[in-house]
Every structure is written in structure tokens, then in C-alpha cells.
Structure 1
Amino acid sequence: MTTTLAKDPAQAAARHAAPGQKRVTRRPNWVAGTASWIWLAIVIVPIYWIVITSFKAQSDYYAENPLAPPSNPTLANYQLVIESDFVRYFMNSVIVTVGAVVPAVAVSFMAAYAIVRSGRGRFLRYTNSMFLMGLAIPHQATIIPIYLIIIKLGLYDTPMALILPSIAFSIPLSVLVLSNFIRDVPKELFESMRLDGASELGTLWNLALPLTRPAVVTVTIYNALTIWNGFLLPLILTQSPEQRTLPLALWTFQGQYSVNVPAVLASVVLTTLPILVIYVVGRRQLLAGLTAGFGK
């Protein structure tokens, strides 16, 4: 009769190790661990304070410990923010963000595909150089020419006054990122698509886009966050309260209710929620796009 005993894999590996082999033990890195916890506290504590304070009444904010949870939680601050035309400002931000991101990503992807597939075409090489030059020009340096152009076009204080410059600012970096990803696609796949009779548009849609989807999602999320948080363009190119986006509305709201700190922080929470939703929805593709190439 044979009896089989279950053994711990670690003990079995140690028992069958070579006689001259030394066991490797990992020493805990206390410095890195401590620094990580300190950094986590620096990030988490302000977020925690903003969230709990937004549920406090104005009178409780000055009477209680700032880091203590609210003794009498209330949604009055959120109600005040929503009643202050928050929905209108939210929709303005959505219109500007979607109206700028979709054309910018579409144009950037097609431009990146044309630049990579053109080989040594002189015109497209010059076009690529122009895109790269756009990265060297700070946005603040172009705000006065943009303002004058918007005035000449009669678009001042309209959503298009924000959408058109946002598209222009988003394209250079998007083309740079997407072209690098398209270059990583093996040329043999493009050749096989050509031999199968696929057109350039079919190759772009059926081959390049699926293989570079993480990069497309990464560029989309980055541009969406940049445009959503944009403050300079709405400040310069809009005037009426009806055209304000959330960052500009948050600034004016803070000036109007500066004494009511919980209400101001409630507006901060509501302004940040869409950003968190965008990150949660595209988190996996975003991480795949950011880490692509590290294993090469």
C-alpha cells in the first residue's frame, strides 16, 4: 500500500536545490516602501478632505476638525451647485470636448498613417515636420493671434471658438504618438493586405486601427482630459455666462461663494467626476497604450 503526502512546493524546491546553490532572499526595501506610503498619503489626503468637506454644512466646516467625517452629512452644497447653472456649463464642456476630440483623433490617425506609409515622400515629410514644430510652440504664445482670427471669423463667444483651436492644439502630439505606433506594425501585414486587393482605406480601417487601438484610446483620453480642463481658451474666447465651460464656471463660482468652502469643494467634485468616468472606462486600453513597447 502506497501513501502519498502533500508537500509544500517551497520546501520541496529547497530540499532538491543543488548543494552548491545559495538561497536568494529578498531584503525589504524600507526606503522605497516608506516613500511610497508618504506619496500615497500626499495624494489621498487632499482628495479625502475635498470629498468629506463637500458633505458638510458651512457652519460645521469652521466648527469641526477639517479631517473628521461630517457629523451631519448634507447634500445642500451639491444642490446649490446644480441650481447655479451647473448643467448648462457641463453640457458646454461636453460639446467642446467631443466636438474637438473626435475630429482631432480622426485627422491625426489618418495623417499618421499617411506619413508612415508614404515612405520617403517629400510633401508628407514636410507635413510631419510642421506637426513636430507645433509641439515646440507654447499655447500661450498663440493666444493673441487666435483671438484676432476668431474675431475676424465672427466666432467669438461661440462653441466653435473653443473647438477649432482645441483641434489644432491636439493634432501635433496625436500624430507623433500614433505614427510611432503605426511604425511598429510589421510591413509584411501591409503587403499581405495589398496582395489581397485591399485599398488604403480598407487597410487603415481593418489592419492599422485594430492593431493600434490602445494608442488611439490613449490619445483620445489624453486629449479629452486636456480639453475638458482647459481654462485659457474659454477665458479669452468667451464672454457671456451661457458659453462658459466647467473650469471657467468653477473659477467664477469660487469668486462668488469663496466664503462657502463646502459649496466650492462640491463643485470641484462634480467637475472631476467626468474625468474619473473617462479614466475608468478606458483604463485598460490606456495602460496598454502607455506600457506598449517596454517589453521590446
Structure 2
Amino acid sequence: MYKLRRANIPAGVATTIWLLIVLVPLYGMIISTVQDRADYLENGPLALPSEISFDSYRTVFEGDFFRYLLNTAIVTAACAAIAIAASVSIAYAVVRNRSRLSMRFFQLFLLGLAIPAQATIIPVYWIITEVQLYDTLLAIILPQAAFALPVSVLILVGTMRDIDEELYESMALDGASPTRMLFQLVVPMSRAGISTVGVFSALGAWNGFLYPLILTQTPENKVLTLGLYDYVSEYRTDIPALLAAVVLSIVPIFTAYLLARRQLINGLMGVGGK
């Protein structure tokens, strides 16, 4: 017979406290979106609304939210696509070309992990203006994708190294070229790592604030992180509408995470081809 496990009361209490710490802000954010501004200012963010009101969502929909959403979606999809395409190619070259030069290149490439984006904003701004990309979505996409590459390459190198060497040898005996090996062997067996790279780069692009703030100017090229300022003025802040915009902006990227969460976890654990 199996022995009953002794209840871990301290762990249960700590878990409950942590759950409350996480859930209370989420509750306050969501409940605030169904209050009108006067009700929010009178009762606070945690009080139940005296009357359910969707005026905050109506305010968001009547504004430029969908334009900002479209711009953010374009930036996110482009950053994820560039990060995946570039990191797959670089990681494949590093894994298959085991020369000392290749390893030195890989080590040099990973130095990007130690360089914060804030430290490069001046040279990035100068380059973007010199190539006449300022105030375009491409001005956000290129540096955002570039800063996603070091982590992406690191993840995919670990994933591709798990692929059995015998699989490469069998395809080589069949006369497969390196390009064919990449698309028919490496990419299918690296789905976990590729999904991780896609989600990671998409999250960075979706939540990006610094590059959109510095490298864009007109409302036509605003993304969601900048569009939230539409509800903040010099004399007042429409907090229910602001939080409604935040809730709506979370839904797409959270949905993407739910769809790819298993692949994301496997990629971060280094589970690849085996």
C-alpha cells in the first residue's frame, strides 16, 4: 500500500500568498475596465462596480486602437520571421561547421547578450536616419530583430546539437546537399527551438517601447505601447480606458503563447531532435 504523503502546509500557504499576489492586480485591472471613470475614482480599482459599463472599451474602439494593433502585428510578425530565418541559418552553420573560426564567430556573436539596447540607441538612431528609414515600421523591425538574434541563436544551437549525427550521415549517403538537410531534417526536428525563438522574438517586439519611442514620430506609425499615451493628458488620465486598451493588447500575444507553450517549454529545456 502507498503511504499517504504528509501535507506540506508551509508550501501551500506560500503558494496561496503568491497566487493572491498575482491575481489581485489582474482582478483590479479587469474590474476597472467595466467601471466608468467617476465610479473608479470614487470607489478605487478593487471595488465591485455599482453598474457594469463598457464605455472604456467603446472609447478604445472609437480611437486609433485598431491602427496601432495592425502596426504592432506587422512589426511582431516581421521581427519573428527575420529572427527565425536568420537564427536557423546561423545556428545550422555553427553546428555543422565545427572549425575553430566558426566557434570564435559564435562566441563573438553571443557578445550581443551583454549589450543592452539602451546603450546602442544613439548609433542605431544615426544609422536609421542615414538610410532614411526614420518614422517607418522598418525602423522598429530591424533593430528589434537584431537584438533578438543572440538569444535565438543560442537556443537553436542547443536544439540542433541534439540531432543524432547518424541522421546527417544517412542523408549524406543518399546524396543530400546541406540545403536539403537543413529543410528536410534540421528544421522539422528543431520545431521546439524554432517555436521558442518565434515566441521570444514576438514577445520582445510586441512589448517593445524604446525603439518605437525614439525611431517613430507620426501617429500613423504608432504601435500599441505608444498608443496607450492617447489616454494620458496633462490634466487627467482616463484609467478605465487605459486599462481596457492594455487588456485588449494582451489578448493576441497571450493567445499565441497558449498555442505554443508546450513547444516553448521544450525549447527552453533544450529538447530537440532526439
- TM-score range, shorter-chain basis? over 0.9
Aligned length: 273
Moved beyond 4 Å, runs of 4+: none
Match of 1:67 in 2: 46
Gap change, CA 1:246 and 1:257, over 3 Å in 2: farther
Match of 2:76 in 1: 97
The alignment's C-alpha RMSD in Å is: 2.0
Unpaired segments of 5 or more residues in structure 2?
none
Unpaired segments of 5 or more residues in structure 1?
1-13, 15-22
Specify the code of the residue in structure 2 equivalent to 1:94: A
Is the aligned partner of 1:160 residue 2:141? no
Is the aligned partner of 1:288 residue 2:270? no
Partner of 1:74, secondary structure, is: coil
Match of 1:171 in 2: 149
Question: Quick check: 2:192–2:267 contact (8 Å CA) kept in 1?
Answer: yes
Which deviations, in whole Å up to 9, do the C-alpha atoms of 1:149-175 show, x marking residues without a partner? 111111110111111111211111101
1:201 paired residue among 176, 179, 191: 179
Gap change, CA 1:256 and 1:244, over 3 Å in 2: farther
Moved more, 170-179 or 197-206: 197-206
Is the aligned partner of 1:265 residue 2:239? no
Q: TM-score, normalised by structure 1?
A: 0.87
> What is the deviation of 1:267?
1.1
Which deviations, in whole Å up to 9, do the C-alpha atoms of 1:98-146 show, x marking residues without a partner? 1121011111011101110001252x22321221111111111100000
Match of 1:8 in 2: none
Gap change, CA 1:257 and 1:268, over 3 Å in 2: farther
Specify the code of the residue in structure 2 equivalent to 1:85: D
> What is the deviation of 1:71?
3.2
Question: Quick check: 1:105–1:219 contact (8 Å CA) kept in 2?
Answer: yes
Question: Quick check: 1:257–1:264 contact (8 Å CA) kept in 2?
Answer: no
1:187 paired residue among 156, 165, 175: 165
Match of 2:17 in 1: 38
1:107 paired residue among 51, 74, 86: 86
Is the aligned partner of 1:142 residue 2:120? yes
Task: Indicate the structure whose relative CO is greater, using CA pairs within 8 Å and at least 6 residues apart.
Answer: 2
Question: Quick check: 1:50–1:265 contact (8 Å CA) kept in 2?
Answer: yes
Mapped to 1, the partners of 2:106 and 2:44 lie a distance apart of 56
Q: Which has the larger radius of gyration?
A: 1
Specify the code of the residue in structure 2 equivalent to 1:29: N
Counting aligned pairs with the same residue, the percent is 46
2:110 paired residue among 132, 140, 145: 132
> What is the deviation of 1:258?
4.2
1:244 paired residue among 199, 203, 222: 222
Question: Quick check: 1:135–1:173 contact (8 Å CA) kept in 2?
Answer: yes
Is the aligned partner of 1:274 residue 2:248? no
